[in-house]
Structure 1
Amino acid sequence: MNSLIHPTYFPNVAHFVAMIKASDIVFEVCDNYQKQTYRNRTSIYGANGKLDLNIPVVYSQKNRQLYKDIKIFNSENWQTQHLKSLESAYRTSPFFEFYIDDLMPLFTSEVDNLMNHNIKCLEVVFECLQLPFNYTVTKTFELEPKLVMDARLLANSRKEIPQKFKPYAQVFDDKHGYLDNISILDLLFNEGPNTELYLISQTLNL
């Protein structure tokens, strides 16, 4: 079945399970932007536990804006900060050196539009997994879409649906235990080529 999903910033494992198992990926591009969601945030496993990486955006609550029109606020040098956080968190992981060169342009090239950048991040991760990245986009917003698995709720961090995925080895799990359903980068750096098989074997709770 097709999966209708928001393109978010280095999505969590649940997002990728939904995409990997979909016959076709449909990105929601006609919705209003909402703050405090995974549209501009990803969670990684740092030395002190769960660490959120946020992309600063230009947004006004007075006027509703479509997600596809949201611009990134680049004065904060967030790309350098995110890259340093990833290096600190994962430089000792088994596959960091294997993938970081492919990911590096996402942190060194100029970016402007949030949705376009998120889709580019997804494209690069699919390339790392050597998987085709084919998708369509919505033409109108439907509150209750038909004939698709509606996975848009996965972008909502405030009402996050609990997931129970199989634990895998993480860099700091001896200090803080296993952290479930964080960024796909955590899974990629720790599991490498096994990431695809891991995702296929998981059951998604929607």
Structure 2
Amino acid sequence: MKVLIHPTYFPSIAHFVAMVNAEKLVFEISDNYQKQTYRNRATIFGANGKLDLNVPVHYTQKNRQLYKNVAISNIDNWQDLHLKSLESAYSASPFFEFYIDDLKPLFKTEANTIMDFNFKCIKTIFECLQLPFEHETTEHFDKEPKNTLDARPLANSRKETVQNFKSYAQVFDDKHGFLNNLSILDLLFNEGPNSIIYLESQKLNL
């Protein structure tokens, strides 16, 4: 089935379940930007539980902006902070050393717009999974697309649908138990090449 989805920052496992199992993958690039979504945020598993990594953006609520035009604010060294957070959270995971060198360039080069940066992150994850990144993008916004699985609500953190994915070993699960539907980075660092089998076997709740 054709799947319509937002390009988000190191997308959630639910996003990747939708993308990996899509017959045709289409990214929504024609919508307005919305705050408090996963467009500029990823959630990982830190020593104290869930940890949000937020990409600062230049955005004003007064004037609507297209998502693709929203610029990243590079005043603070957020990329260095995010990389250090990943190292702190996952350095003890089984596959951290295997993948981190592929991810580091994303945090070493200044990023411009949040959408372009998200596409780079997604492309890098597809390469880590050794999957072809074949996709299309929208030319206009369609509120109710036909013959399409509309997975765009997955980007909305305020109305997030609970996912019941199968548990896997996580670094700090002895302290906090299993945390469901984190960023794809959590699955990648903990499960490595088995991530593909995991993603293909999960059922999405939309």
TM-score of the aligned structures, taking structure 2 as reference length: 0.99
Q: What is the CA–CA distance in structure 1 between the aligned matches of 2:110 and 2:12, rounded to whole Å?
A: 24
Tell me the equivalent position of 2:97.
Answer: 97
Tell me the equivalent position of 1:127.
Answer: 127
Q: What is the CA–CA distance in structure 2 between the aligned matches of 1:71 and 1:109, rounded to whole Å?
A: 15
How many equivalent residue pairs? 206
User: What is the Cα deviation at residue 24 of structure 1?
Assistant: 1.2
1:42-81 matches, within 5 Å, as 42-81=42-81
Equivalent pairs: percent with the same residue?
Answer: 68
Counterpart amino acid of residue 188 in structure 1: L
Tell me the equivalent position of 1:152.
Answer: 152
Please give the secondary structure, in 2, of the residue aligned with 1:118. helix
User: What is the Cα deviation at residue 130 of structure 1?
Assistant: 0.4
Runs of 4+ in 1 over 3 A off after TM superposition: none
Q: What is the CA–CA distance in structure 2 between the aligned matches of 1:111 and 1:59, rounded to whole Å?
A: 16
Q: Deviations over 1:89-140 (max 9, x none)?
A: 0000000000000000000011101001001100000000000001100001
Tell me the equivalent position of 2:108.
Answer: 108
Please give the secondary structure, in 2, of the residue aligned with 1:52. strand
Q: What is the CA–CA distance in structure 2 between the aligned matches of 1:111 and 1:34, rounded to whole Å?
A: 19
Tell me the equivalent position of 1:205.
Answer: 205
User: What is the Cα deviation at residue 147 of structure 1?
Assistant: 1.4
User: What is the Cα deviation at residue 84 of structure 1?
Assistant: 0.4
Counterpart amino acid of residue 90 in structure 1: Y
User: What is the Cα deviation at residue 88 of structure 1?
Assistant: 0.1
Q: What is the CA–CA distance in structure 1 between the aligned matches of 2:24 and 2:114, rounded to whole Å?
A: 23
User: What is the Cα deviation at residue 146 of structure 1?
Assistant: 0.7
TM-score of the aligned structures, taking structure 1 as reference length: 0.99
Please give the secondary structure, in 1, of the residue aligned with 2:203. coil
The RMSD of aligned alpha carbons is 0.4
Counterpart amino acid of residue 15 in structure 2: H
Tell me the equivalent position of 1:170.
Answer: 170
Q: What is the CA–CA distance in structure 2 between the aligned matches of 1:77 and 1:110, rounded to whole Å?
A: 10
Q: What is the CA–CA distance in structure 2 between the aligned matches of 1:10 and 1:103, rounded to whole Å?
A: 11
Gap regions ≥5 residues in structure 1: none
Q: Deviations over 1:27-47 (max 9, x none)?
A: 000000000000000000000
Please give the secondary structure, in 1, of the residue aligned with 2:115. helix
Tell me the equivalent position of 2:143.
Answer: 143
